Chains A and B, each alone.
Chain A
Amino acid sequence: MKYVFDFAWLGQYWPVLLKGIGITIELIAVGAVLGVALGIFCAWARALGPGWLRPAITAYVELIRNTPFLIQLFFIFFGLPSLGLQMSELQAANLAMIVNLGAYSCEIIRAGIQATPRGQFEAGASLAMSPIQTFRYVILVPSLQRIWPALSSQIVIVMLGSAVVSQIAAEDLTFAANFIQSRTFRAFEAYFVSTAIYLLLAIALRQVLAAAGLLIFPRRMRR
C-alpha cells in the first residue's frame, strides 16, 4: 500500500464541512420535533382514536416501516411534483424524515401507551375528564417516559439515515463530503473525516436526548 494520506484540504474546506454539519443538525432538529409530534398523534389515533382512522394509520405505519428511506425520499422529491406538489431539496428532506420518524415513533409510543395500567384510564374518567384530557394529562407523559430510551435510539438512527438526503442535493454533511472529494480527489480522507463527525454527532445527540429526558420528565415520576 503506497497511498499517502493527505488531510491538507481541511485548511481550505472546513467552512464547507461546517455548513454541512449545520444543515444536518437543522434537519434532525426539525425532523425529531415534528416527527415525534406526528408519532404521538398516530399512536393516540391507533390506540385510542376513532375506529375509521385506525386502518389508515396502520397502513401508513406498515408502508413506511417496510420500505427504504431512500425510496421514500425519491418518491417525495421526484414523484410528488407530478401531483403538483413542488418542494425544495431541504423541504423534501425534512418531510421525508418527519414521515419516516412519525411511523417508527408511532409504534414505539403506542407500546408505551399500551403498557399503561387500565386503572389510569378509569381514574381519569372517574374525575370527569374527557378521553382527550385523560390522554393529555394522565397517560401521555408517563408513556413517553417509559419508552424514551427506545425513542432516543430511533432519533439517532434517523439522524444517521439522513446522510442519504445528499442524493437529492440537500446540502448536508454527506453532500459536503461529496463536494470536497470531487474538488480534491481525496475521497477516502473526505469520507473518513465526515464519518468521524457523524460518530461525534451521534454521541452528542444521545447525550442531548438523555438530558432532555431528565428535563421533560419530573423526578417524582421516575421509577
Chain B
Amino acid sequence: MRLSYPSNVKVIQVPCSGRVDIIHLLKAIEDGADGVYVAGCLEGECHFLTGNFKAKKRVQYVKKVLEELGIEPERVEMFNLSAGEGPRFAEIATEMTERIRELGPSPVKPQNAA
C-alpha cells in the first residue's frame, strides 16, 4: 500500500498519544505552525489504557487557550485511528491540511512579530 498524504504534514512520533503534553502543542503554534493535530489510537484501545483520553483533554485545553487568545481553535485537533488504518491516516492529513488552508496562515507567524 503506497499512500500519499500532503507533504506539509510533519510527523513527530511518540510512543503513545498520552506522551503529547500541552506544551508540545503550544510550542508548535508558538513556533509558527499553522495547525497541529494528534493522531491517537481508537478510544478504548490504548495500550496504556488512557493515553489517548489524556491527549484528548490536553488538545481541548489548548483549543480553549487559543480561543481566549483570539486564534481559531480548529487549528488544533485530535483524531483517533488504529495503527492499521493507513488510508484513514492519509485522509486525516488531507482533511486537516484543507481545514488549515481555509483558515489561512497562523496569525502567530514569526514574521508577524515586530
The answer to whether A and B assemble together is: no
